[in-house]
Amino acid sequence: MIATLRGNQLARLLGHWHALPGRRRSPEYAALAGAVRGLLADGRLPLGVRLPAERELADTLRISRTTVSAAYRELRESGHLTSRRGAGSWTTLPAGHRVDTSGLWTAEEDRDVIDLGSAVLAAPPQLQEAGRAAVDELSRYTSSAGYHPTGIPELREAVAAGYAARGLSTSPEQIMVTSGVQHAFDLVIRLLVAPGQPVLVESPTYPNALAGLTGRRARIVTYGLPDGGWDPELLLGTLRQARPRVAYVVPEFQNPTGHLMPEPLRAALVAAVHGTGTDLVVDESFVDLPLDGQQMPAPVASFDRHARVLSIGGMSKPYWGGLRVGWIRAPAPVVQRLAAVRAGMDMASPVLEQLVAVQLLRRAAEIVPARRAELAARRDALVATVRMELPDWRFTVPAGGVSLWAELDGPVSSALARAVAELGVRLAPGPRFGVDGTLERFLRLPFTLPAADLTEAVHRIAAARYDIERSHRPSWTEPAIIA
């Protein structure tokens, strides 16, 4: 089912479209068409969405229907709109414009490269101590086969206690330990989504989630995330129209935008998925990383009364990506079904790594505040340098998480990533976080590296940006893993 935008919804996305750069010299219909193209290029307006009828949009924008007709005609001629008599007009991209988000290669580690492609911290100093303590505990498990499909009991208890501390009563039977958050997501998708079924995701969103959905041959439906965060009417409207099998959201410091979903929308979203028969997968990878001391909203699952919410999280962001430990919180019967699905994949997570995770969680009061302080200082250093070196770039300073989502001064994200690679900086360009070639005006800038590296990286990015129009076409290199 193709989602339909009403006139007032499109008007909100368009904003002050008359005032956009270069619009005053353009005819009104061309300005309107250009604004719609901009929304498509930035991923704010998804593909395959039916636009309002010409009369409805004209009434909403208080312009003539002739102007809207001319704008729609120009969009059809440029390949951004497809119309069929009696069926309406829906958004597309010109032939040949598409970016594949599933082709990720692992690059060899290069210590001379400043890697801004992965938004992960180095290991905390407590890791070695936790590892030694875990080895001392290992003998309790070595007399058995070592297979624990849902996780070792003490780690399940520790994760459940973490949810309880956030105000969400959870039993260990509701926890399944996985080999990282991506593994948790893959298991959930394998259980819930058959090939061809629709899955609703935010745009932009986590690239590896898109890769996982593509690998499962799901039909991806996007909701364009506005500058200020989620638009409740648009999000819930898209959900009710598309009626996806699963919806995937990142409510805490959304990857990559850094937005924090307000509590009223969390409750409304859970009520909406119950009405549409949708299972809601909530990625809580960044929930431990508020950076400004703010009060965190209640977990999304706390509003669930119908077993529709599955929460996934893990150790990668607050602790260390090399410790491949994640988890799923779900109703106990669903956990058992997930364990059955897992039997055909990897049987269980390594016991030693789980014991290390237990030790780190016991030290959370020591580790996590230090990580937050470290990230806040690095964020502030990155923000100051970008504002000084690239003053035309726009962004909202995130109140948590690990990355800055910057709107560039032109649709050059992929070209900039290729150019700056020659200067020893690895970037994840905007299109990696969307589908079909959109988001070329955006770039994710993680602040997980030391401040000196971030400052140097921005200096090189600025040099590449100002020289990009004069530079020769760079050679292509294999893209790196994005995390």
CA distance 15 to 25: 18
User: For residues 98 and 431, is the Cβ–Cβ distance under 8 A?
Assistant: no
User: For residues 188 and 328, is the Cβ–Cβ distance under 8 A?
Assistant: yes
Is the model's pLDDT at 110 over the cut of 60?
no
User: Average pLDDT, whole number, for the chain?
Assistant: 88
Give burial (CB, 10 Å; 0-12/13-18/19+) of 361: buried
Q: pLDDT tens, 187-242?
A: 999 999 999 999 999 999 999 999 999 988 999 999 988 888 999 999 999 999 99
Q: pLDDT tens, 11-56?
A: 888 877 775 554 445 688 888 888 888 787 767 787 778 888 888 8
CA distance 374 to 120: 13
Domain architecture of the chain: domains with CATH = 7-91 (1.10.10.10), 114-124+366-467 (3.90.1150.10), 127-363 (3.40.640.10)
Sign of CA dihedral 291, 401, 290, 361: negative
β 279-283/442-446 pair status: unpaired
Higher pLDDT, 422 or 229: 229
Residue 93 pLDDT: 75
For 306, half-sphere exposure in the C-beta direction (CA atoms, 13 angstrom radius) is 14
Q: Could you identify the residue written with the tokens 């580690």? A: 109
Residue 111 pLDDT: 62
Higher pLDDT, 272 or 35: 272
Residue type at position 459: H
User: For residues 379 and 398, is the Cβ–Cβ distance under 8 A?
Assistant: yes
Q: Cis peptide before 479, with omega less than 30 degrees from 0?
A: no
